[in-house]
Amino acid sequence: MPTTTAAPKKHKKRFIVLWVVVGLLAALIAAFLIYTGIYYHADADAQRLAAGYDVQIEQRDGYIALTPTGAAPTTGYVFYPGGKVAAEAYLPYLAEVAEQGYTCALLQPPFHLAIFDTGAAAGPIADNPGVTTWAVGGHSLGGVAAASYAGKAGPAVRGLVLLAAYPNTDLSQSGLQVASITATQDTVLNWDTYEASKTLLPPNTVYISIAGGNHGQFGLYGPQSGDGAASISAAEQRAQVAEATLQLLAGL
């Protein structure tokens, strides 16, 4: 005849297992929130510099819209920020591009990680039906997200700008116009992987190296851990990146 203590012991064991699982999940969630809660903030000057351009800057659902004052552009550019970097750090760069006659959208990904929403560019593209030609771009991990989106997007997306970034999908036969921009003092970028990934890009990809630039100065968020020391100013690097971006947009 079975003992009367068997059932209570079984329930107690299940209760302990349940609490162990709950505890592990809570620890994982806490670790994730701590990890994503530590990120690079935009420099205090970022918004002030962006405001100096002749563009309208508006907060939209999930992105910041930048449009040239008094213009109705037909070409646009959507940008994915670098991983764990506040989107606002790229406002001066996008404002410089927008002022030259382009609709720009600076995405604000969840947890400051673009990989959580690689399809986010679809939002601003849908919001601007008058813009018929698009390019997408991104910095570092944001460039990976941009490349992923570009590889799946429709014919309206014709260009890709990679800032210290490389694709994780084969775009060699995509027909995209691509500009791959790096900086000589960048010690954050995995250069071996970058070189190996060139086979994933179209053969007509334009490669641009910014002498004296580093990884962090693709945005405006201060020094980045593990980065090299730049020998040019952030403003000079930003101007070169904007010029290369404008050349690509003009050719779409």
Split at pLDDT 50, 70, 90, the class of 133 is: very high
Q: In this structure, are residues 55 and 98 in contact, taking their beta carbons and an 8 Å threshold? A: yes
Residue 149: which CATH number?
A: 3.40.50.1820
Sequence-ordered list of residues with C-beta below 8 angstroms from that of 34, at least 6 positions apart, any chain: none
Q: State whether 238 and 171 are in the same domain.
A: yes
Q: State whether 63 and 18 are in the same domain.
A: no
Strands 103-107 and 63-68: antiparallel
Hey, what are 30's tokens? 């806490």
Q: State whether 21 and 46 are in the same domain.
A: no
Give tens-digit pLDDT for 148-190.
999 999 999 999 999 999 999 999 999 999 999 999 999 999 9
Q: How many domains does the chain have?
A: 2
Alpha-carbon distances, residue 158 vs 147, 150, 178, 208 (angstroms): 12, 8, 9, 19
The confidence score (pLDDT) of residue 124 equals 99
Q: State whether 196 and 245 are in the same domain.
A: yes
Sequence-ordered list of residues with C-beta below 8 angstroms from that of 167, at least 6 positions apart, any chain: 143, 144, 147, 148, 151, 197, 200, 201
Q: State whether 48 and 32 are in the same domain.
A: no
- Domain of residue 11, residue span: 1-38
Find tokens 């030259």 and name the residue: 100
Q: State whether 219 and 182 are in the same domain.
A: yes
Q: State whether 8 and 118 are in the same domain.
A: no
What is the spatial distance between Cα 190 and Cα 3, in angstroms, rounded to a whole number?
64
Q: State whether 34 and 142 are in the same domain.
A: no
Predicted TM-score (pTM) of the model is 0.88
Section 1-6 average pLDDT: 53
Q: State whether 172 and 233 are in the same domain.
A: yes
Q: Which of 27-31, 101-105, 220-224 has the lowest mean pLDDT?
A: 27-31
Q: State whether 49 and 124 are in the same domain.
A: yes
Burial class (CB in 10 A: 0-12, 13-18, 19+), 236: middle
pLDDT(35) > 70: no
Q: State whether 29 and 67 are in the same domain.
A: no
Q: State whether 61 and 186 are in the same domain.
A: yes
